[in-house]
Structure 1
Amino acid sequence: MKKFFFLFFIITSFTGFAQVSVSVNWTPHIPLPNSDTIFYNPSRKLIWPDFKGTPGSPAEALAVTSSGLGYSAAMKSWNGKTTIDITVYCYFSKQSSWVRKGRESEYALNHEQHHFDITYITTNLFIQKLKDAKFTRNNYGELVEKIYKECCRELEKMQNDYDGQTKNGQLKNIQAQWNGKINEQLDLLPNQ
């Protein structure tokens, strides 16, 4: 019985470490014409008509950008080989983003664009962490979700730092520093 248990343990241990190939892909989705979602495209900047939501809180904000990152993952096993495909995307929600009527300006739009850019920067961090991860058949679901949550926390921190330090774009000298920082980080990213 001990030999059987030991053999069973060895076989199940090796199946967890079977040959695993991982593919992490950036997908520049092309939404339907009347879609609520804009997927990040470095050559397509936000415009005020993209902000279709109803203004809400915080009351001191003149605009709000609702953006995020997401992924889909699938695992296939065949003949002892496992393939994990992870597709990553970065999006902007038109209906959840808003601007107060009469407060539209190029300066404010640049501030909001940088919120979307920060999301894209964090999306690339997510992609890199996925590529660096050591996936197995047994850990991939848990590990992808762990990395995703880490990156979402990083995204929230960077967005809060951006708004906090610039006072929502009101401190023009600090906004200029952030503009430079964000543009530098964008320039360092690989072309998707």
Structure 2
Amino acid sequence: MKISFYLKFLVLCCFLLCSFKAVSQEVKIKLRPHSRSQYQVDYHFGEILDLRKNKELIGEVFYVTKKRIPVSFEEELDPALLDYFNSQIDTASEDNRKIQVRILDLSIYESPNYATKLYEGELKLRLAFYFKGNLNPIHLVTYSNLVKYQRTANSINKLQEVTNEYLDQSLAYFNQWMDMNAGTNRDLAKSVRMNARYILPDIQNDTIFYNPNIPLNWEYFKDRPDPLSKFNATITCSFSVEGNAQLNDGIIQQNIFIKAFMLPNQSWVKNPDDYGINHEQKHFDLLKVIVDRLIYRLNNTELELEFFEAKINEMYFDAYREMNRIQELYDTQTQNGMDAEQQQKWNFLIVKALKGEWEDLEKELGN
């Protein structure tokens, strides 16, 4: 009888993707990778972490001796399950997502049913799937299952079938989740595409937006002049950045909308004249140059997926500092418009810069 059972066991192993060894003191289960892939995917399993408290045993079961004997994997579970899962997937490209799996529970418990003369068992399986990028792993989904089974004393191979079946089901569950979420889950985005542009809203009473076809006029300077100031006029202008993002097919489309504006209620003039309005217009033009340069940098900088929002903020503050620096330099060199020769130089320099010819401006800045 023992020889017959052993032969049947060898035949059975040919049809199983996993095999086990049962000896008088212990049951050993060995995961065998699949011979061919089951799924065409855009990810791979890069790491398995066994977080069970007892990594040595799966549990205890009854064998022909009718005594409890321990069940464990023949090989260390982390690399064995990694090979087992990866054998079932065919990764379509090299640029694919790296998945980490955490084994939270994988355990078997059996008890005898004296009425039916069968052993009743439970397999608990809980796996957490994470996306592993350059930062901390991001939790995606957790698979949990409690499987109940019955077997006779001689059908120890039931453990093999149950373990194999529900490990496969966990992978099927995760693959289905990925199919449904990979294109719309921001955590799984593969790249980011930037679209930064200048927008021109309608004129508002308290805000004048930069429009190359509508020059400034003194009517926009509505604040009360400062009688103690030595300047004839002051313009208050700046820029704002707004944005939104959409995720399509795993690509984040980051839209950035930039406005350049002056504030009439914070801008004033004492003695309006044509020369003076030109000086203030060039302040406004320089603001638009700064915005153009920011848009260029945003659209032409290679952005890392995990850090692109921080990079956008960094470029925004760099542009803000550049705005203050260049406006101060303009006023210093022209003596707030009083030096006609320097004013003429800056007039030509700014006209060129508005066309995207920034070389002379960068020389002035020392870049």
Q: Please tell me whether the aligned partners of residues 243 and 254 of structure 2 are also in contact (alpha carbons under 8 angstroms).
A: yes
> Is 1:37 the counterpart of 2:207 in the alignment?
yes
Distance in 2 of aligned mates of 1:57 and 1:162: 23
Aligned-residue CA RMSD (Å): 2.4
Return 5+ residue gaps in structure 2 as ranges: 1-45, 50-97, 102-129, 135-186, 358-367
Match of residue 19, structure 1, among 191, 195, 204 = 191
- Structure 1, unmatched stretches of 5+, are none
The answer on whether the counterparts of 1:16 and 1:137 sit within 8 Å (CA) in structure 2 is no
Task: Tell me the residue number matched to 1:81.
Answer: 251
Aligned to 2:229: 59
* Structure 1 stretch displaced more, 17-26 or 164-173: 17-26
Tell me the matched-pair count.
184
1:56/1:141 CA distance change after superposition, 3 Å: farther
What amino acid maps onto 1:18 in structure 2? K
Report the TM-score when normalising by structure 1.
0.86
Distance 1:61 1:73, change over 3 A: same
Greater per-residue strand proportion:
2
CA contact (8 A) 1:17 1:136 kept: no
Q: 1:58: Cα distance to partner?
A: 7.1
Deviation at 1:97, TM superposition (A): 0.9
Name the SS for the 1:8 alignment partner: strand
Change in 2 beyond 3 A, CA 1:155/1:58: farther
Do the aligned residues in 1 keep the contact of 2:240 with 2:260 (CA within 8 Å)? yes
Q: Percent identity?
A: 24
Higher relative contact order (CA 8 A, sep 6+): 1
Match of 1:3 in 2: 47
With the length of structure 2 as denominator, give the TM-score of the two structures: 0.47
Q: Does 1:187 align with 2:325?
A: no
Partner of 2:241: 71
- How many angstroms apart in 1 are the aligned matches of 2:305 and 2:247? 9
What code does the residue aligned with 1:152 have? Y
In proportion to residue count, which structure has more helix? 1
1:78 and 1:176 mapped to 2: Cα distance? Answer: 50
